[in-house]
Amino acid sequence: MMTYAGSNDLDAYWMPFTSNRRFKANPRMLSGAKDMHYVTTEGRQILDGTAGLWCVNAGHSRPRIVEAIRRQAGELDYAPSFNLGHPIAFQFAARVSALMPFDLKKIFFTGSGSESADTALKIALAYQRARGQGTRTRLIGRERGYHGVGFGGISVGGIVRNRMAFGTLLTGVDHLPHTHDLARNGFSKGQPEQGADFADALERLVALHDASTIAAVIVEPVAGSTGVLVPPQGYLQRLRSICDKHGILLIFDEVITGFGRLGSTFAAERFGVRPDIICMAKGLTNAAVPMGAVAVSDTIYDTLMEAADAPIELFHGFTYSGHPLGCAAGIATLDTYAEEGLFQRAADLEPYWQEAMHSLADARHVIDVRNLGLIGGIELEPRPGKPTERASEVFAAAFDQGVMIRVTGDIIALSPPLIIEKGHIDQIVETLRRVLASVD
């Protein structure tokens, strides 16, 4: 078991998206994980209600994945992907390509979801130029959207705290309104009925900027990190139609929704909407090795190949693109998903999950409950003048009672590993009800 002697052992590490001062005054440390549980440095088991950070879809420390990484590290730990190749990268790309919906069959590997988002934006710009539409340089994101923390991702993203300290960001960016409409859609089960019309804001942006200046729109099919915002019925379909009308590419950021989270391989399948580009990461390797990918349509790939004015068709890539350990973990992860039928398992559990989430509608402080697939969002009434404080206390109390949740603002976000059992769902709900009753 890992131990640490005192506060000096914590000083060096600047933790991400964390109140460092608060954490280091009262650290909560994880030292192990297996299947549905983390283990703390004190030896307590913590039920994982969030699949780590939306990413451990097949559960923790799965033997096939662990062994694949171990074996690959002993054979080829690293190889460059610039003008050289290694077989496992091509094998993994073929496996991912075979899973992709529609015609999105060309795979570009990255090292994270943030890198995937920035890669997708750059490919969209390069494609528009390659097809003779070089004036199309504007990128459209969405309020309350999250596309990682690169400058491209935070520019099209719409979470204020992720943007406000970092200057003017990319130029030529605009945003659609978010789709959260508590007045019309509160306590919706699955997709809300009202709100397809939010997509019409894209027409207003076209009227403002002209379609000839707009390269792409990027959205999360379900906005996760901002608090589980489920798309209204017909919204994504209408967005696709408007993009088609004006020659605008549609990018789905499926870093969270990919690989079974919604009971299908990708959200694009569940909603029956074809994007031009899909970003992925997280469940791609079950988070065992950091890795991401971008899938593009054959049309985009072929256009960039045919219009290239230099031997290198796209001047973009990363030292860790197609990393051998990531590819090994990814292949083993896809095998685990298939052998255990985890995507179908998520679909089968969705009705039970939905009812469990909505059983908290009458819990103290709850003002909305949202769900789709194995994602749940429970919105709390903020304390007057002290936003986020109540949810932070709920997070700490739930952890102390053996359940790990995630909070964003005053919203509890849940996204458990797809191996979850009904008893685990009951434990999450019972713990939250108890905690909510005890927190002022």
Comparing CA positions, the residue from 253, 333, 228 lying closest to residue 287 is 333
Q: What is the mean pLDDT of the chain?
A: 97
| Strands annotated E in 301-373 | 366-372
Q: Is residue 394 over pLDDT 70? A: yes
Residues with Cβ < 8 Å from 423, sequence gap 6 or more?
none
Cα–Cα distance, 187 to 227 (Å, whole number) = 14
For helices 87-99 and 324-340, angle between their N-to-C axes, nearest 10 degrees: 40
pLDDT at 239: 98
Q: Is residue 363 over pLDDT 90? A: yes
The full set of domain ranges for the chain reads 7-61+341-438, 66-340
Residues with Cβ < 8 Å from 291, sequence gap 6 or more?
109, 110, 111, 112, 281, 284, 285, 320, 323, 326, 327, 329, 330
Q: Is residue 4 over pLDDT 80? A: no
Contact 109, 91 (CB under 8 A): no
Per-residue pLDDT tens over the stretch 136-153 = 999 999 999 999 999 999
pLDDT at 1: 38
Per-residue pLDDT tens over the stretch 101-122 = 999 999 999 999 999 999 999 9
pLDDT at 5: 46
pLDDT at 144: 98
Q: What is the largest CA-CA distance in the chain?
A: 65
- The CATH fold assigned to 66-340 is Aspartate Aminotransferase; domain 2 (3.40.640)
Region of residue 234 (left: phi > 0; alpha: psi -120 to 50; beta: else): left
Average pLDDT over residues 269-292: 98
pLDDT bin (cut points 50, 70, 90) of residue 426 is very high
Comparing CA positions, the residue from 385, 428, 399, 433 lying closest to residue 46 is 399
CATH architecture under which domain 7-61+341-438 falls: Alpha-Beta Complex (3.90)
pLDDT at 2: 44
Average pLDDT over residues 209-228: 97
Whether the pTM exceeds 0.85: the reply is yes
Per-position b or e across 329-359, b if 16+ CB within 10 A of its CB: bbbbbbbbbeebebbebbbebbeebbebbbe
Average pLDDT over residues 353-360: 98
Comparing CA positions, the residue from 378, 367, 373, 379 lying closest to residue 354 is 373
